[in-house]
Amino acid sequence: MGHKVGNTEGNSGEIREPAIVVSDVHLGSESCNYKQFCDFLVWIRSLDGRKETIKCEGKELVITHPEKFILLGDILELWDPKDGDRDNVVKQSIRPFSLLSDLRCEKIYVIGNHDDAIHRYDEKIDYETLHNDTTLNVCNRHYPEEKTGIKNIKIGERSYFFIHGHQYDKGQKILATVSRLTGQRWNPLNWFQILFNIPFTKNNWIINSLVFLALVFGGWYFWAVALKPNFGYTLIWAALTGFFALSSIPGIITKTQRKFYDAKKPKDKTAEQIIEDEYYQEQKDTVVADVIVFGHTHFASSYVGKKKLFINSGCWVGEDSIIDDKQRYTNTFVYIDENGAYILKWSKGKIACIESFPVSKG
Ligand SMILES: [Mn+2]
């Protein structure tokens, strides 16, 4: 095993063995490539004590077991799970997390926007020791975290910084601003999502919405015509109406929110588009690293600019497709060793090289 991060003298954490990065698995969502992701984890486990050599842009790449496995955000789909039901997230998480915990390496879970609901675990899970003496660390916004005093992770000659990437996204600005002003995470859709996942609401939201409407309109009739204004009845009517409003409206919103997200998300943008289309604000960037690895846009790609190399780790949802004349691959991951970084694709047990960023020698 290589060196452990925790070097308090320098500003870099350093590792000697590779790191593997995945993002945007969206476990529990409609289009998550759950089975392929599990197979991929089994393959990583099989690298223990074994090497796999592939061809990457004319050169040989020797893949070995990682020292760090970085989950770079949106691993869980807590905003828009299949059928709005968070039980689907639990169902699709048991196997991946059991495979993950078995891996003989350090696991870093960086929280994205779709799994922001678990941000409290940032403080609760800090280098938690698992059954095989490896550690799990949950990071709120990026890795490494500020509180460690470590600015970046050095692998070979390059320094790396890992961030989910919604920080570069205009569409996420309003949420971030309100959260900063109120001092608490603000996400109205998440609030409705949680209310929807109360079993009584989840199972009966349609009938509840009919009861709600009947109470609203029936209430007017009884109040004005049949009973005449009466404080006691009005109070009961108001309480019942409120209860059924809370038991139906979250269902209606949860079931229609996908349209809202689809219209708003900057999905499928390349690293270049995200960095150059004003998403990325240079003056606010205080990251000290040669390479920024991020996800969020579901487009495995790279960009050199702003004196940095940006690598997008892609996603594990949907199929390979052509977007704006560019080939977009899914089921991708970033492999980093002392010789450079690589965007690779997992495809039925075969590893394909999408792009490579070797450290220039000499
Ligand atoms: Mn995201």
Do residues 340 and 291 touch, judged by C-beta distance below 8 A? no
267 alpha carbon – ligand 1 mean position (Å): 9
314 alpha carbon – ligand 1 mean position (Å): 11
166 alpha carbon – ligand 1 mean position (Å): 6
State whether residue 168 is helix, strand or coil.
helix
What does the pLDDT read at residue 330?
A: 97
Q: Per mean pLDDT, which range of 28-42, 245-259, 332-346 is the poorest?
A: 245-259
Instruction: Label residue 361 exposed, middle or buried (CB < 10 Å: 0-12, 13-18, 19+).
Output: exposed
Question: Is 203 within the bounds of a domain?
Answer: yes
Is the same domain home to 43 and 92? Answer: yes
Range list of β-strands (E), the chain: 12-15, 19-22, 52-56, 59-63, 68-72, 106-110, 128-129, 135-139, 142-143, 152-155, 158-163, 291-294, 301-305, 308-312, 321-323, 326-328, 332-337, 340-347, 350-358
Grade residue 195 by pLDDT with cuts at 50, 70 and 90.
Answer: confident
Do residues 24 and 80 touch, judged by C-beta distance below 8 A? no
Mean pLDDT, rounded, for 272-296: 80
284 alpha carbon – ligand 1 mean position (Å): 20
Which CATH number do you get for residue 160?
Answer: 3.60.21.10
Number of domains making up the chain: 2
State whether residue 51 is helix, strand or coil.
coil
What does the pLDDT read at residue 267?
A: 64
The residues placing their C-beta within 5 Å of ligand 1, an ion, are 74, 112-113, 166, 296
295 alpha carbon – ligand 1 mean position (Å): 7
Is the same domain home to 275 and 252? Answer: no
23 alpha carbon – ligand 1 mean position (Å): 9
Residue 161 to residue 238: CA distance in whole angstroms: 53
Is the same domain home to 195 and 342? Answer: no
What does the pLDDT read at residue 281?
A: 66
214 alpha carbon – ligand 1 mean position (Å): 40
pTM of the model: 0.86
Is the same domain home to 18 and 93? Answer: yes
Is the same domain home to 286 and 347? Answer: yes
Mean pLDDT, rounded, for 286-310: 91
What does the pLDDT read at residue 1?
A: 37
225 alpha carbon – ligand 1 mean position (Å): 53
User: Mean pLDDT over all residues of the chain?
Assistant: 87
